[in-house]
Amino acid sequence: MLTDRYPYLFDPVHAAREAAAATFRATGSIRARVEGLAAAGLLDPTDVRGLAVTRWQLAHADALTDLAFIVQELGTFPLRSAGGFDDVVEAARTGRSVVAFALTEPEAGSDVRALTTRATPDGAGYRLTGVKHFISNAPDADRATVFARLDTGEGRDTIACFLVEDPPATPQKVAGHSIGRFDFVDTPARLVSTKGLGLAFGTLERCRPSVGVAAMGMAKRAFDETLRHVQTRRQFGAPLSAMPVVQARLADMALELEAGTLTALHACWRRDTAPPGARTGYESAIGKVTATEAAQRVIDAAVQLHGGLGVEEDSVVQQLYRDIRPLRIYEGATDVLKTVIAARWLEGS
Ligand SMILES: Cc1cc2nc3c(=O)[nH]c(=O)nc-3n(C[C@H](O)[C@H](O)[C@H](O)COP(=O)(O)OP(=O)(O)OC[C@H]3O[C@@H](n4cnc5c(N)ncnc54)[C@H](O)[C@@H]3O)c2cc1C
């Protein structure tokens, strides 16, 4: 348990939450997993360290359930921040609603400000036209928090945040994920806030360090599988674990795990304890990049030490190898976050 190993970073409330997440298991659709998470109390509001310990435990057991969990947070945090959507937030918390977070567009990925989905006023509400793609949980979502352009008059516009009921989804094929696109054509929407960009960036910055911790949960699972394997698999008359090169690989994996976990948890702690208004983008970027990149290396080593079994379709490490890859791309690709990290030092020099 992270809360046992790093007690100085946590409060008792985190330990209780982690214990609940450690025993939680779910299968089936995203909706079924969301309902199960709600019944276990895991969708109740928490701080970033609460997200982190939940994600580590869920991701260690099953990456898809971790995604079901965190996308509910991504979808509802802008609504909680803006206020006025208590009924929607409560439906999500109790598992009665699956809420997607729809920012990315075919021509606006890392460059979020380039998005072109447009909102036009329609009576008391709005209508959205445009395309969002690579939206997690979209096939199961009955609501979506959507970011779109809104005219503010005199030829100017802003990126605003909207809530859409029953968003029109088409599934996209991404292995191990439940992903889809939304094609909005004059789709009715409610305005959440005209300050959409701030809400989007604030939500991503808050969740970003927990991506690193989830990656570490997946990497630890790969390490656990590997420890078992190298002690039972025999070649050249001895277990693999008797070979110095195998031991060196295990040590390298442990080093990556220790450094990545602590760095990502530090970013979570920093985000929770920073004074209001303080910027924590640097720590968030460091935590996500360090841990997700380390997790990829740990899982790659796990596949290597499993030999042919490591690439068999049903093997746990093969699935982890596939599941870990998107974490280095979404919520800020590694290369994009490196520009954030470099900027901090260049500005400060
Ligand atoms: C599994 C999965 C789930 C996702 N879920 C969601 C979701 O729920 N909601 C949502 O809105 N989006 C979601 N996304 C989309 C995700 O946020 C984008 O894929 C991501 O922001 C990158 O955008 P892009 O794919 O268009 O890549 P691009 O922006 O085209 O970038 C491609 C690559 O170019 C490089 N690059 C781009 N810009 C820079 C830069 N400024 N500096 C240096 N290098 C750069 C990086 O290597 C980057 O990986 C998801 C994606 C995946 C794969």
The percent of residues above 90 in pLDDT, for the chain, comes to 94
266 confidence band (pLDDT: 50, 70, 90): very high
Q: What is the mean pLDDT of residues 109-132?
A: 96
Q: Ligand 1: does its nearest atom lie under 6 Å from the Cβ of 292?
A: no
Ligand 1 lined by 343 (C-beta under 6 Å): no
Closest CA to 292 of 111, 59, 46, 3: 59
**C-alpha distances out from residue 70 to 42, 46, 130, 347, Å:** 10, 12, 25, 33
Q: Is 177 in the pocket of ligand 1 (CB under 6 A)?
A: yes
Distance 157 CA to ligand 1 centre (A): 24
Burial class for 3, CB neighbours closer than 10 Å (0-12, 13-18, 19+): buried
Among 195, 158, 245, smallest CA distance to 78 is for 195
* 146-158 tens-digit pLDDT: 999 999 888 889 9
Task: Quick: pLDDT tens for 97-111.
Answer: 999 999 999 999 999
Whether 175 has a pLDDT exceeding 90, the answer reads no
Which residue is closest in CA terms to ligand 1's atom 33? Answer: 333
pLDDT tens-digit readout, 53-99:
999 999 999 999 999 999 999 999 999 999 999 999 999 999 999 99
Determine whether the shortest distance from the Cβ of 342 to ligand 1 is under 6 A.
no
Q: Relative to the CA of 108, which ligand 1 atom is closest?
A: 26
330 Cβ below 6 A of ligand 1: yes
Q: Which domains does the chain have, with CATH numbers?
A: 2-93 (1.10.540), 99-194 (2.40.110.10), 199-348 (1.20.140.10)
